[in-house]
Amino acid sequence: MLFRKNWPVFILLSMLICKSFAAEQAEFIPNDGDIQVVDGRGGNYKFIEEDEVIILTRENFHYFIMSRPTVLVEFYAPWCGHCKDLAPEYSKAAETLKKENIPLAKVDATKEGELAVEFMISGYPSLILFRDGKKIDQYQGERNAFAIIDYMREKTDPNWKPPLPPVIELTSENFEKTVTDSKLILVQFYAPYCSHCKQMQPEYEAAARSLLEYGIPLAKVDGTSEKAFADSFQITGYPQMRVFRKGRVFEYKGPREHRGIVDHMKELARPASKLVNSLGELKSGMDRTEATVVGFFSSRSALYEEYMAASEELRGILTCLHTFEKDVASHYKVIPDSIIVYQPEIYHSEYEKSSHEFLQLKASGNAKDIVNFVKEKSVPLVGQRTKRNEAFKYSTKPLIVVYYDVNFDHQYVKDTQFVRKKVLEVAKVFQNSNAKFAISNEEEYLEELRSLDLADVNEDIKVAAFDGQKFRMEPMDEFDPQEVKEFIDLLSSGKGKPYYKSQPVPKVQEGPVLTVVANSFAEEVLQPKKDVLIEFYAPWCGHCKALEPEYKKLAKKMKKANPNLIVAKMDATANDVHPIFGQIKGYPTIFFLPVAHKQEPVPYTGGDFTYKSLKTFVDQQSSVILTDEERMGLPSTELPEKREADEL
């Protein structure tokens, strides 16, 4: 009876519910076969297919690979020829494997740069295998559909287990014998907790497998359990790698991803010094724009072995050659077991020798002696400083650099030498000083010129000096030797004014933390007779943003508790950092400058950027600063002048 009386209400409610349900359904995009809608955390994930291959972006990538047991992902670039060749084969494989519920996907690495960096993609195409969201292998097989299908069927077999990695695990028991017996071996020092080590592990293992056929072993050492070994090789962080040759250790200077490691180690397997058997071969092998090191030997003597070890340190920096031919040595008027550094003809001048012979401890000179000798003698009076040679040849200061259109190609040599010879006239005056002179190509050093505010000028010649700090001359249309001499004399007298890249000095300070820029650093940090705590930060740095409220709290509290402390900060990306701090390697970086030793800043190494930890650090480092009364031995807080004035 009740239902009959209220049936219009029931019908109306039913219509509203149906309408609401239909509205909800309308929000979903129907699946037309091209777009797969997967219900996921926080909403729906849409995966677009192109020729049976799933297209992934940074928005859906991690969800997709974590929600599938096994996925093969191709990282490609649209312009890559190899990628274009692979595309039809990859699609064929995807079509077949789709029927077996084995997905193949791809990522445009030119658009999704964050994903490419995350998975250390260094070449295209790169095919990465993921299992349960983790990268476990990199496909190295043939680039055809059949090979990819076989590979994925093997990897998705529930009974399949990854092969034991061909990386040798070294401990104190087998380390010395392994590296001594190996003609060439790469050793990685790692820590089990290190995220970078975990990220690198599949790359390192893939490289080890690839290098097996070349007879180049890869090994690893747990630096936390074998700390004595890590310390003996100056391992300061993880992962770090060292190259060993018959027990000799060398710094590893190559890439950290699979292909890069393979290519670099194959290069290291070649001799760093080339054997030459004739005069013509020696002459043609010499570098025409850089110093060449030549070893003349009668046999594989002790000096020969040391020279070959030294040439490894010089690999990629200078050309090294060696010969056992007596007639070649006779032509150059040198006796066997001699090592000579030859300057190229473009640097020959009446003010310097064109070659230098290694003499010290001829019979037993070691590799380090040879490298140091070459480092000194390979620098001409005025040579070209390049990105390739600057760390080896031009790292010592003071250094005077002349920037212009330096180019030693045959058609430009005359113009380049015209300016270089004018620089040579200045350099000869200071030949007995510790200053070095160099010329540099302005395009190669554009960023350095920008840091000197010399990049966007119309003049052809720019001159700068480096001596821990930066100094610059006003640019010139033509090189003026007299002006440059006066500039160097001014620097030598200590009256030169350093140049700093700096933000404008703030007109008003806001908040409890003092904002410092390069141009106000001396006045606000070095000159005040107070302790200083300073943070170097980057505006984009997440850790710096997290530190900000803690740092402000510290500044506010210290203003009352310790008036002899300045709490400051500097944007290290927009300002040159004073040389007393060395190179800032990460953000945020905090230093304490005690009032009596401001040239010796103390780094904060607590790691915990909280108010409590920072206050503990400040309390430990704070100076005992006497007031005027305490310095005079007066018990009162008032000065005598003030007391007398009050009495009057």
Q: What are the Cα distances from residue 315, in Å, to 270, 320, 340, 369? A: 11, 8, 17, 16
DSSP calls for 111-129: T-HHHHHHTT--SSSEEEE
Over residues 307-330, mean pLDDT: 94
Q: Enumerate the active-site residues.
A: 194, 197, 541, 544
Instruction: Identify whether 603 is preceded by a cis peptide bond (ω within 30 of 0).
Output: no
Over the stretch 400-458, which tens digit does the pLDDT of each residue have? 999 999 999 999 999 999 999 999 999 999 998 999 999 999 999 999 999 898 998 89
Q: Is 567 in contact with 618 (CB distance < 8 Å)?
A: no
Q: What DSSP assignment string belongs to 216-266?
A: --EEEEETTTSHHHHHHTT--SSSEEEEEETTEEEE--S-SSHHHHHHHHH
pLDDT of 476? 93
Cα–chain center distance at 375: 23
Stretch 522-536: mean pLDDT, rounded? Answer: 93
Question: Where are any strands of DSSP class E within 272-398?
Answer: 273-275, 292-296, 319-323, 338-342, 355-357, 382-384
pLDDT of 7 strictly over 60: no
> With left for phi above 0 and alpha for psi between -120 and 50, is residue 406 left, alpha or beta?
beta
**Collapsed DSSP state (helix, strand, coil) of residue 536:** strand
User: Residue 242 corresponds to which tokens in the numbers above?
Assistant: 């060292």
Positive/negative CA dihedral, 500, 503, 508, 509: negative
Of the chain, the percentage scoring pLDDT greater than 70 comes to 87
Highest mean pLDDT among 156-160, 530-534, 626-630: 530-534
Q: Name all domains of the chain by residue range, CATH numbers in brackets.
A: 48-155 (3.40.30.10), 167-269 (3.40.30.10), 274-380 (3.40.30.10), 389-493 (3.40.30.10), 514-632 (3.40.30.10)
Short-list 273, 268, 283, 328, CA closest to 306: 273
Cα 285–Cα 286–Cα 287 angle in degrees, nearest 5: 120
CB atoms inside a 10 Å sphere around CB 183: 11
Measure CA 442 to chain center.
Answer: 23
Beta strands 218-222 and 167-170, pairing class: parallel
pLDDT in tens, 549-598: 999 999 999 988 888 999 999 999 999 999 899 889 889 999 999 998 99
pLDDT averaged over every residue in the chain = 86
Which of these, 439, 418, 269, 297, lies nearest to 358 by C-alpha position?
Answer: 297
pTM of the model: 0.64
Which letter does DSSP use for residue 524 in this model?
I
The alpha helices in 469-600, defined as continuous H runs, are 481-492, 521, 542-561
Kindly give, in sequence order, each residue whose CB lies less than 8 Å from that of residue 177, ignoring residues fewer than 6 positions away: none
Q: How far apart are CA 89 and CA 639, in angstroms?
A: 90
For residue 45, what pLDDT is reported? 72
Report how far Cα 412 is from the mean position of its chain's Cα atoms. 33
- Say how far apart CA 310 and CA 128 lie, in whole Å: 39
Lowest mean pLDDT among 104-113, 306-315, 639-648: 639-648
Predicted local confidence at residue 122, as pLDDT: 85
pLDDT tens string 36-90: 444 433 346 778 899 999 999 998 999 999 999 999 999 999 999 999 999 999 9
The residue-averaged pLDDT of 472-481 equals: 93
* Band of residue 15 on the pLDDT scale cut at 50, 70, 90: very low
Higher pLDDT, 607 or 458: 458
Structure tokens of 177?
A: 């014998």
pLDDT tens profile 282-292: 999 999 999 99
pLDDT tens-digit profile of 154-212? 888 877 665 566 899 999 889 999 999 999 999 999 999 988 888 888 889 888 988 98
Order of strands, edge to edge, in the sheet holding 565-571? 514-515, 565-571, 531-537, 589-593, 602-603
Q: Is pLDDT above 70 for 102?
A: yes
Q: Provide the percentage of residues in the chain whose pLDDT is more than 90.
A: 63
Q: Which amino acid is at 221?
A: V
Cα gap 643→648, rounded to integer Å:
9
